[in-house]
Amino acid sequence: MRIPIHQVDAFTDRRFAGNPAAVCLLDAWLPDPTLQAIAAENNLAETAFVRERGDGDFDLRWFTPAIEVDLCGHATLASAFVLRRCGRATGPAICFHTREAGVLTARVDGELLELDLPARPPHEVAAIPGLDAALGVAVRSLWKASKHMAVLDDEAAVLAVRPDLAFVAAMPGDGLIVTAPGRDVAFVSRYFAPHAGIPEDPVTGSAHCTLVPYWSARLGRTELAARQCSARGGSLRCRLFGDRVLLAGACVPYLEGEIEV
């Protein structure tokens, strides 16, 4: 069986930056172990599997090299980009049906695509003993939704983080975000998910489902420019809209072909 595959750099307007995602276009679902094996073989932060439903909408699932995840922003952005590029979706909006995150929408907004994702506001939690030492910087406050989020002093502190990945992998929840005010954007962040086979994710849409509600409340505004300052780096235009987070970004194609299963 041959399956079309595309690799896209998401949340960037230049190749070899942003977060690479593989997008596999399926006619029918394959067994879960096969989907996981394909994601492991691709060895990217996420592989998205997209199947047309017959009503104009699409089913969407995401796998890291190690596990299936309940929400992935950059691979959703990449999937919308691929569907439009291939001519499989031609309208102004694309609706994705997911197993746990509900219906997600991607809309055309000029040169960008804008995702409509669920907000996941964090609550402040007690400090975790040893976290400062594990990151190599001082944590000013710790928050949690599905992911832990460590708030640091400034952008320089975020860039200075050198995490003990074994410590992070042992933390409860879905990995660790570090964040601080940005020099030329509202906020910056990084995200570590060694438990999911991702030491550091280059640009993480799902992390911004928690970051945006936090920074919106702290800064007193709903529209925010953000940058995830991983080695590859990526830019996001963010907006809090009630219980939804709207994330806009660009995509750049890198590879297309077929895989054999």
Q: Which domains does the chain have, with CATH numbers?
A: 2-116+247-260 (3.10.310.10), 123-242 (3.10.310.10)
Instruction: Evaluate whether 182 touches 208 at the Cβ level (below 8 Å).
Output: no
Closest CA to 38 of 5, 60, 74: 5
93 forms beta bridges with: 107
What is the pLDDT averaged over residues 130-134?
Answer: 98
Q: Average pLDDT, stretch 80-96?
A: 96
Tell me which of 46, 68, 114, 155 is the catalytic residue: 46
Express as a percent the part of the chain with pLDDT over 90: 99
Q: How confident is the model at residue 38 (pLDDT cuts 50, 70, 90)?
A: very high
Split at pLDDT 50, 70, 90, the class of 148 is: very high
Tokens of 169: 């992998």
Q: Is 46 assigned a catalytic role? A: yes
Q: Are 40 and 66 in contact (CB under 8 A)?
A: yes
* Residue 141 pLDDT: 98
What mean pLDDT is predicted for residues 6-20? 98
- CA triple 156-162-168, angle to 5 deg: 120
Give the pLDDT of residue 82.
Answer: 98
pTM for this predicted structure: 0.96
| CA distances (Å), origin 36, targets 31, 62, 67, 99 | 9, 9, 7, 16
Q: What does the block give as tokens for 70? A: 């309940």
Q: Whole-angstrom Cα distance, residue 84 to residue 82? A: 5
pLDDT tens profile 167-216: 999 999 999 999 999 999 999 999 999 999 999 999 999 999 999 999 99
Question: Tokens for 26?
Answer: 């399926």
CA dist 147 to 45, 72, 242, 260, Å?
A: 16, 13, 20, 35
Burial class (CB in 10 A: 0-12, 13-18, 19+), 176: buried
* Strands 148-151 and 176-181, bridge-based pairing: parallel
- Measured between alpha carbons, how far is 184 from 154 in angstroms, rounded to an integer? 12
